[in-house]
Amino acid sequence: MTSGYRVWAEVFDSDGVVIGTVPSLASASVTKVLDGVGSVKITTPGTDKAALTLLTYEARVRVYVEQNGQVREIGRGIVRKPLTTDTSNGSTFAVDCPDELTEFKDISALLGRTYGAETPVALGSVVEALVGLVDGWTADVESGVYDNLVSLRLDGASIMKGLQTLAESYGLHLRQAVGSKTLEFGAFGEDTGLVILKTEHGSIRLHGNDDLALIENLQITGTSEHVVNRIYPVGGGEGLAAINLANSTRTSPYAIQSVAAPDGRTLRYIETGARPVREEVRRYKITPIANSAAAKVVADDALYDAAAEDLARSSVVQETYRVVLTKVRRNIQPGDTVHLTFKGVVTPVKESAPFVYRDVDGDFTVLEVSEDFSPNGAKTSLVISNVDRQMMTIEEEIIRSISDVESQQFEVKTFPYVFNDSWTDTIMALDSFGNFKTAVFTVPIPDVVTDVLKVLMRIRTLPMDSGSALRGEIGGGSHNFFSALYFAANSGFYPHQMTVEINGVDRTGALSGPWGVYTGAVDVEVDITDYIVNASGGLYQDHTIEFNCADQGVATNVRVYQFGSVIPSPITSTTSRGRVQISIMILGVAQAIQTT
């Protein structure tokens, strides 16, 4: 190992108890990644008994470096791939470790783990609860975002996936703190004060300044000119069952706007206002995590937040650089900010790509930090970007897509369903004797339903039937006899000028009523969606539908006995009576979750 620094490792068991030290490493390479799991790679001679004995499967490793009399921890990992290799130059023992954050990938959130189903809860409390599921870890959530309100449901995902989902949805980040099992969660962006310079002739003064780092090599690793300045967010669910900001209460930083889709549905979108418009429909795996009006607002607000963070980054041309530095003597964390000053030709990562000229003088977010210590010297390599989001390669996109497909079997999805039912009741207008009857129906909407998209009601009227009656006949001669026959008969009258109240509010005029005359039947279909979905008291209740009808009297001659004599008197009798039959068709949305 080149003089000027020393690298060694301390080894612990899975309970965090020290089991020994590997006093000298042939080489060490530590990579830390923003929002993900990094790696620790170390090598020793194949004859190093301490390394062979201590660095066994699942051992915990902490790597330290001493430079200029200062000792600092550069990384932690868990041994997963110990390997001895024999070459012509001798044997080498190499250990490949994911960093300690991999413990969050090893623990599952199981099924139905829910936070803030009905009322959003503090983001910090959710992060602390998730981190607390992994032994030995604590959470450090930035105070500026701790009280942000969020909701989250996890089904079959790892704790790491849950934390990454929270971070991605709200434009935040996660990483491990230096030197402890603490997961840091927040916006980050702390200015390290480090200035990265390209210089042809470094002076002694520059080499003694720890706030300056010198560029050995600068490569452009990616440029995304696929700018999107308008997003149509679509949440979880199939077809019309997908959520789309309809219930969102958000108004900032982008106003929610809408346009009619080709099939007539309403599409909602957010945009930066830049022109020309570059638009995309984007899907986010966000659904209501309970069946209630409050849960739908929570879900649509979460959808807005995720889309707004996505839009803020997608509307900017992203450039990412890998810069190799020769003079770094401090800890740099993913998520920190550094200042890059560079003017000249930038080397492309791929040999087939063209060289490009760049004049750069600005702040960049650190996406990845790699420190390498070998016999050839010490180097620090940073991946930095003008946008605080990883730019994925095609291979990484494919892996992510496969992961998403595999996770769908655990996701709670909304799907359309259709409900049909019919009810019949009798109705009669007020008659001369003060008798009347309304037809009353109840349409229940229970909380097994996530949402209702359409409610159609077919109204039909039928005449009143007599039920059963007794008919008597008397024979002639000296013998009287009685014959009883049971029969049913329909009246010739129908309800006249029917009106309707839905949940106690007269909706007759709005639905183009009243309907019917006493001499004819009614058969109409009306759309009552708005009166059910936006009913006073909310969607989840027993909705009442009540019909009344107007009087339509006719005069009839009825024999009336008064004081022993018959008085022919015309009596007015209502003919506005009959039966009302309604058929309700509900197109709704449901999801396979346990209701409260």
Q: What is the DSSP string of 330-394?
A: S---TT-EEEEEEEEEEEESSTTSPPEEEEEEEEEEEEEEEEEEETTEEEEEEEEESSSS----H
What does the alpha-carbon distance between residue 39 and residue 41 come to, in Å, rounded to a whole number? 7
What does the alpha-carbon distance between residue 360 and residue 384 come to, in Å, rounded to a whole number? 12
pTM for this predicted structure = 0.76
What does the alpha-carbon distance between residue 346 and residue 468 come to, in Å, rounded to a whole number? 98
* Dihedral of alpha carbons 383, 388, 392, 393, sign: negative
β-sheet with 542-548: strand ranges across: 439-444, 542-548, 499-502, 505-506
Whole-number pLDDT of residue 402? 47
The pLDDT tens digits for 134-169 are: 999 999 999 999 999 898 888 888 999 999 999 988
516 backbone φψ class: left, alpha, beta (φ>0; ψ -120 to 50)? left
Using alpha carbons, list the distances in angstroms from residue 393 to 129, 365, 399.
Answer: 32, 18, 10
Contacts 24+ apart (CB under 8 A), 158-161: 158/104, 158/105, 158/106, 158/107, 158/108, 158/109, 159/104, 159/105, 159/107, 159/108, 159/109, 159/130, 159/131, 159/133, 159/134, 160/37, 160/101, 160/104, 160/105, 161/105, 161/109, 161/407
Which helix (H) or strand (E) is 509 found in, with range?
none
Whole-number pLDDT of residue 562? 57
What does the alpha-carbon distance between residue 21 and residue 64 come to, in Å, rounded to a whole number? 11
The DSSP letter of residue 26 is S
90 backbone φψ class: left, alpha, beta (φ>0; ψ -120 to 50)? left
Q: Are 576 and 549 in contact (CB under 8 A)?
A: yes
Whole-number pLDDT of residue 290? 78
Spell out the per-residue pLDDT of the chain, length 596, in tens. 445 789 999 999 988 899 999 999 999 999 999 999 999 999 999 889 999 999 999 999 999 999 878 899 999 999 998 888 876 677 899 999 999 999 999 999 998 898 987 788 999 999 999 999 999 999 999 999 999 989 888 888 899 999 999 998 899 999 999 999 999 999 999 999 999 987 654 554 556 677 888 888 899 888 877 899 999 999 877 677 788 999 999 999 999 999 998 988 899 999 999 999 999 999 888 888 777 888 888 889 999 999 999 999 999 999 999 999 987 877 899 999 999 999 888 877 776 667 788 899 999 999 999 999 988 888 899 999 999 988 765 555 544 444 454 444 455 667 788 899 999 999 999 877 788 999 999 999 988 888 898 999 999 999 987 654 444 444 445 555 444 445 556 678 999 999 999 999 999 999 999 999 999 999 999 999 999 999 999 999 999 999 999 988 765 555 555 566 655 555 566 789 999 999 999 998 887 665 54
What does the alpha-carbon distance between residue 272 and residue 229 come to, in Å, rounded to a whole number? 6
Residue with tokens 């009685």: 482
Token readout for 309 is 């963070």
Token readout for 340 is 């890059």
